[in-house]
Structure 1
Amino acid sequence: MSAAVWVFFLALAAPCGSEVVPPSGVNLTSYNLDLVLRWLPPVGLDGDVRYTAEYRSSTGNYSSGCVNISAVECDLTRLQSKPETAIFEYGKYTGRVQAHLGSETSAWVESRPLSLDQETTIGPPTVNLTSGHTIEVSIKNPVLAISSLIKTYSTVTYNIMYWEDGQKEKAKSISHSRQNRVVLDDLKPSTVYCVQVQINTYYSEPSEQSRPVCERTFDEVEPQWVTAVLTFIGIAVAMALVVVTVLHRRSISNFLCPRDVLPEHIKKYLLTPPSSSIYLEMQKPPLLEENYDPISIIAEEKTVEVPEMTCSTRTDIAARDR
Structure 2
Amino acid sequence: MRRPPPLLLLLPLLLLLGGRAAPSPGKPGGAPRPAAEAPRRVGAAGVPGAGVGGTTGNPGPWAKSWRAGRKEPRDSRLRSRATVLDSVSQLPVPKNPKIRLYNTEQVLTWEPVSLANDTRLVTYRVEYKFTSSDDWSTVPWVNCTNITETECDFTTASRPQGFLWHRGVYLRVRAELGDLVSNWATVPWFQRYRNVIIGPPRNIEVIPGEGSLNIRASPPFDVDVSMATFQYNVSYWEESGTPKQTKDHIKSNFILLDGLKPLSVYCLQVRVEMVCQKEGIFRPGLFSNTTCSKTAAYAATKLQQTIVIFMGIFVSLMLLTGACFHLVLKYKGRVKYWFHSPLKIPVEIGEYLREPAHSVLEALEKDSSPKEEVWDSVSIVSFQERSENTVSGAL
CA 1:204–1:42 in 2, change beyond 3 Å: closer, same or farther? farther
Q: Alignment length, in residue pairs?
A: 210
Q: Does residue 293 of structure 2 align to residue 208 of structure 1?
A: no
Matches within 5 A, 1:104-115: 104-115=180-191
Alignment partner of 1:158 is 2:229: no
TM-score (norm 2): 0.47
Deviations 1:177-200 (A, max 9, x none): 222111111212222212211212
Instruction: Check the 8 A contact 1:128/1:139 in 2, yes or no.
Output: yes
Equivalent residues in 2 for 1:50-199, closer than 5 Å: 50-60=123-133, 61-65=135-139, 66-78=144-156, 81=159, 87-126=163-202, 127-133=204-210, 134-144=212-222, 148=223, 150-153=225-228, 155-165=229-239, 167=241, 170-199=243-272
- Structure 1 residue identity aligned to 2:206: L
20, 24, 38: which is aligned to 2:91? Answer: 20
Hey, what does 2:371 align to over in structure 1? none
Give the Cα–Cα distance (whole angstroms) in 1 for the partners of residues 150 and 302 of structure 2.
Answer: 67
1:35 alignment partner AA: Q
Q: Cα 1:171–1:86, aligned 2, differ >3 Å: closer, same or farther?
A: closer
Q: Give 2:62's aligned residue.
A: none
1-side partners of 2:158 and 2:303: how far apart? 65
Deviations 1:68-118 (CA, angstroms, capped at 9, x unpaired): 222211112239649xx9621100001111112344221111111002211
- Cα shift readout 1:97-151 (whole Å, capped 9, x = no counterpart): 111234422111111100221111111112211112221011210125xxx2644
Which residue pairs with 2:8 in the alignment?
A: none
Q: Larger Cα Rg: Structure 1 or Structure 2?
A: 2
Is residue 106–residue 162 contact of structure 2 (8 Å, CA) maintained in 1?
no
C-alpha distance 162-44 of structure 1, shift in aligned 2 (>3 A): farther
The sequence identity of aligned pairs, in percent, is 27
The 8 Å contact of residues 198 and 208 in structure 1, kept in 2 or not, is answered as: yes
Q: Which amino acid aligns with 1:32?
A: N
Letter in structure 2 aligned against 1:139: A
Unaligned stretches of 5+ residues in structure 2: 1-82, 276-280, 305-395
Q: What letter matches 1:200 in structure 2?
A: E
Q: Deviations over 1:158-211 (max 9, x none)?
A: 1111112363x7111101122211111121222221221121224143111112
Check if 1:42 corresponds to 2:119. no
**Normalising by structure 1, what TM-score?**
0.57
1:292-315 deviations in Å (ceiling 9; x for gaps): xxxxxxxxxxxxxxxxxxxxxxxx
Distance change >3 Å, CA 17–CA 171, structure 1 → 2: same
Distance 1:224 1:32, change over 3 A: closer
1:18, distance to aligned residue in structure 2 (A): 4.5
CA contact (8 A) 2:104 2:221 kept: no
Residues of 1 paired with 2:166 and 2:252: CA distance?
25
Map 1:213-224; keep pairs closer than 5 Å.
213-219=291-297, 221-222=299-300
Structure 1 CA distance, aligned partners of 2:84 and 2:240? 58
